């Protein structure tokens, strides 16, 4: 598995360190940020509160596999089409993904913060991020939530960020950001009044093969052309 960064290929080993990693002899602090289509407020919070000199930001983007495509005759399974037929559709999806991620990369570049991207193909965002944590030994992860974690909304279950926060290994610090503000816990956002507590859920087991599986499917790309 390799990481592409402005023409430089850096091999990422299974025991790669996240908190302090060495590149060109210098020590860096890595902060991982989960981003979707509209998480600029999350990245802005990171750049304002979690970035120090020599910090390197990793943008983690999980996108779903292509199962069906829309055609003039209706939806067709990708299994029914050849690679040649799928290629234009895949290229269009890739272009849209590049456009989404480019705005985050530009924001980091504006404040002169080193940035890389990690692309993961999965139908299950929270599970994919959870399994990535021990693979890359992630010690600092920031995720956004679109729901105000009030007692009314908590009854609907955990959001993706809250689920990852609840089930992440102890060595990884998870920060949840809502509307540009840090969520101290599930009931309290800095600057807002705390709400009632919610019940906890049991921590699921993570497959022992998670590390092997992720190094087969994770795509690392440091710069889009």
**What are the DSSP calls for 120-179, one per residue?**
EE-S-HHHHHHHHHHHHT--EEEEEESS---HHHHTT---HHHHHHHHS-TTSEEEEEET
At 185, the pLDDT band (50, 70, 90 cuts) reads low
* pLDDT, tens digit (0-9, with 9 covering 90-100), for 36-66: 999 999 999 999 999 988 899 999 999 999 8
- Write out the two tokens for 193: 């009044």
pLDDT band at residue 146 using 50, 70 and 90 as cut-offs:
confident
- For the stretch 97-121, pLDDT in tens is 999 999 999 999 999 999 999 999 9
Looking up tokens 């890595």 gives: 30
Give the pLDDT score at 183.
Answer: 86
**Which pLDDT score is estimated for 61?**
97
Tokens encoding 1: 């598995």
Q: How confident is the model at residue 2 (pLDDT cuts 50, 70, 90)?
A: very low
| 163-172 tens-digit pLDDT | 999 999 999 9
pTM: 0.70
Is residue 138 within 8 Å of 173, Cβ to Cβ?
no
């Amino acid at each position: 598995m390799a990481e592409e960064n402005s023409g430089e290929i850096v091999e990422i080993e299974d025991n790669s360190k996240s908190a302090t990693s060495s590149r060109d002899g210098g020590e860096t602090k890595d902060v991982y940020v989960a981003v979707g289509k509209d998480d600029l407020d999350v990245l802005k919070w990171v750049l304002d509160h979690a970035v120090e000199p020599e910090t390197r930001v990793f943008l983690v983007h999980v996108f779903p596999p292509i199962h069906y495509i829309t055609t003039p005759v209706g939806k067709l399974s990708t299994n029914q089409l050849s690679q040649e037929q799928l290629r234009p559709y895949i290229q269009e999806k890739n272009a849209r993904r590049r456009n989404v991620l480019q705005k985050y990369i530009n924001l980091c570049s504006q404040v002169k913060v080193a940035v890389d991207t990690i692309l993961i193909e999965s139908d299950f965002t929270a599970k994919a991020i959870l399994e990535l944590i021990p693979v890359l030994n992630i010690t600092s992860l920031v995720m956004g939530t679109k729901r105000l974690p009030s007692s009314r909304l908590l009854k609907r279950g955990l959001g993706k960020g809250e689920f990852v926060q609840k089930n992440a290994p102890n060595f990884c610090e998870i920060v949840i950001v809502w509307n540009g503000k840090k969520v101290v816990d599930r009931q309290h956002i800095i600057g807002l009044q705390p709400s009632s507590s919610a019940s906890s859920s049991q921590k699921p087991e993570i497959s022992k093969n998670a590390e092997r599986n992720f190094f087969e499917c994770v795509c690392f790309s440091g710069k889009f052309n």
